[in-house]
Structure 1
Amino acid sequence: MRYLVRDRMFAFHEEAWIETEHREKLYRVNRKFFRLRRTFVLVDTRGEHVATIVRKALTVHHTLLIKQEGRPTATISKKLFALFGDRFKVRLGDGRRLKVNGNLWDREFDIRHEGTTLAHISRRWFTVRDAYAVDVLSEQDALVLVVLAVCVDHVIEDAKGDQVTNL
């Protein structure tokens, strides 16, 4: 199934919507930036918390913790050294380890488990910069995969911001 993540432009506080390919809104991503640890909260259309994404403080590289119902569901970290494209490693709460490989220039990423693609993240088909697609091939883990896509996009955008401020 294809999900669309759309950042809301010109919002006072940053938020994004996760929709189905038929434009049915499923989740809202509220980004709270005024804390030492950046926090995102995924809320369904009824206003109930579905997941929380917390950027761990005091880490050498980006590490995000995903929680559902107060329990850790996944941890995603950007690898320090990657020769070709960005690479992320994911550790799920059930012990599985996923890899996220991608091409920074084309904004194309795959989430894989043991060589099998579970989801594909793409900005390629969107002319508007503030939208991207997440094609989920494993419906069992759909919510976690979409949340991982939001995390990867956040880490890349955050890294671009760091590069601009360091110039």
Structure 2
Amino acid sequence: MRYLVRDRMFAFHEEAWIETEHREKVWRVNKKLFRFRSTFAFVDTEGTVVASIVKKFFTIHHTILIKHDGEVIAKISKKFIKLFGDRFKVKLRDGRRLKIVGNLWDREFDIRDEGTTLAHISRRWFTIRDAYAVDVMSQPDAYLLIILAVCVDHILQDAKGEQFTNL
């Protein structure tokens, strides 16, 4: 199933809506600003927090924890040593390890589990600046795969900001 992530930027608040391919709103990501570390709330349409996304502040490389009911269900981090482009690794609570690979600069990447593509993320088909598609092949893990896509997009936005502030 295809989901569309639409970012909305406001002066003091940032949010993204996740919609189905039929334009039905399913989840919302709220970024809480003015905190010591970046925190996102992944919320359903009823307003219930499905997951919390917490960016660790003091790390050598970007690391984000995904929590459900206060328990870490996944940890995503950018690989410290990279030979060919940016790559991310994900460690899930159940012991699985996922890889995120592709052309991350253009936001074209896959989330894979042992060579099997679970989701494909793409900005290619959208002329809207802050929108991208997440094609989910594994429906039971849909919300987790979308959260991972949002995390990678956030890390890449941070990296672009760091490059421009260092000029």
**Is 1:156 the equivalent of 2:159?**
no
Relative to the length of structure 2, the TM-score reads 0.96
CA 1:155 to 1:120, structure 2 compared with 1: closer, same or farther past 3 Å?
A: same
Q: How many residues align?
A: 167
- SS of residue paired to 1:158: helix
Q: Deviations over 1:95-120 (max 9, x none)?
A: 00000002034321100000000000
Shift of 1:47: 0.7
Tell me which amino acid in the other structure corresponds to 2:154: H
Report the Cα distance in structure 1 between the residues aligned to 2:12 and 2:122, rounded to whole angstroms.
26
Tell me which amino acid in the other structure corresponds to 1:56: K
2:165 counterpart residue number:
165
Contact kept, 8 Å, 1:2 with 1:133, in 2: the verdict is: yes
Report the Cα distance in structure 2 between the residues aligned to 1:85 and 1:124, rounded to whole angstroms.
19
Structure 1 spans left out of the alignment, 5+ residues? none
Report the Cα distance in structure 2 between the residues aligned to 1:80 and 1:129, rounded to whole angstroms.
29
Structure 2 spans left out of the alignment, 5+ residues? none
**Is 1:38 the equivalent of 2:19?**
no
Give the 5 Å matches for 1:67-146.
67-146=67-146
Shift of 1:81: 2.4
Deviates more, 1:63-72 or 1:76-85: 76-85
Shift of 1:56: 1.0
Q: Deviations over 1:25-77 (max 9, x none)?
A: 01111001211111000111111101100011211000000011221110000
1:27 counterpart residue number:
27
Shift of 1:10: 4.3
Relative to the length of structure 1, the TM-score reads 0.96
- SS of residue paired to 1:120: strand
